[in-house]
Amino acid sequence: MTGEPVLLSSDADGVRTLTLNRPRVKNAIDAALWSALREALVAAGNDRAVRTVVITGAGGAFCSGADISGGVSSVHPLYRMRTLSDVALLLHELPVPTIAKVTGVAVGAGWNLALGCDLVVATPESRFSQIFARRGLSLDLGGSWLLPRLVGLQQAKRLALLAETIDAEEARSMNLVTWVVSAQEVDAFVDDLGARLVAGPPVALAQNKALLNEGADRTMRDALANEARTQAVNFATADVAEAYSAFSEKRVPGFTGRWAVTHGQDEKGDSHA
């Protein structure tokens, strides 16, 4: 429908759902949708009420990749790629957990958009392809970084060089999908998953995500130093004390991420000028 937004955004109990909304072209991403995604990810990262982000597609498809229906653009590719790179980095560095809910096809940049999320939930009908080579193109939206880390170098080359289409079960067996859930159950499954993530300690989850993302490129010494640094930040929040109290009281903890260090006090509680 003319004038309908290319990206829908909705909030429910700490979960922000971003829905690619170009169903007539299986949610292929054009310039307007790339820009909308970039703005939406910036907004989600800056909104402390957002504790989890779900990315999905309208009309029974996740995303058929970048929209090439208009042919070769007159805009230099380097300029166009900047927006794609912005989206990939914003998604990768978003300080909250992200879930891709994949129904139907996830192809090319659309598949890499899903792989850029922390968790991927697909249905048995989902189909995936690194289709770039069939278009005379190479991997983008972080695919060259993500694929070898998820499946190993040899399988990454298979996917990139042959541009095969694989189904959800094969994708799951290759660690490219976290869960495969029936189409009738996928909405409820993702809702429950989002609620579980929202209930977690936000500071600790953000740091877990960053540690794991960065760990692939770090030495053990670097990783241990980062773990020590982030654990110190965790102990400065109210969530650790809340977790200990909840454990002793046999109740569910209520995590907020609230900073709990009192300014101007040392370990004994003495105030300083």
pLDDT in tens, 133-175: 998 889 999 999 999 999 999 999 999 999 999 999 999 999 9
101, 186 in Cβ contact below 8 A?
Answer: yes
Q: Are residues 171 and 210 in the same domain?
A: no
Do both 141 and 227 map to the same domain? no
Are 186 and 206 within one domain?
no
> Which pLDDT value is given to residue 14?
98
> Is residue 126 a contact partner of residue 167, using CB atoms and an 8 Å limit?
yes
Q: 0.75 exceeded by the pTM?
A: yes
Domain interval for residue 213? 202-249
Domain count, the chain: 2
Select from 24, 4, 207, 27 the least CA-distant residue to 113.
Answer: 27
Residue 256 resides in a domain: no
Phi first, then psi: what are they for 179, rounded to 5°? -140, 150
Same domain, 74 and 112: yes
Q: Which of 115, 116, 117 is nearest to 97 (CA)?
A: 117
pLDDT under 70: residue ranges of the chain: 1-2, 70-77, 262-273
Summarize pLDDT for 195-211 with one digit per residue, the tens: 999 999 999 999 999 99
| Pair 250, 273: CB distance under 8 Å | no
Distance, in Å, from the CA atom of 213 to the CA atom of 217, rounded to the nearest integer, reads 8
| Spatial separation of the C-alpha atoms in residues 98 and 120, rounded to whole Å | 9
Residue 179: give its domain's CATH number. Answer: 3.90.226.10
Single-letter amino acid code for the residue at 229: R
Same domain, 189 and 217: no
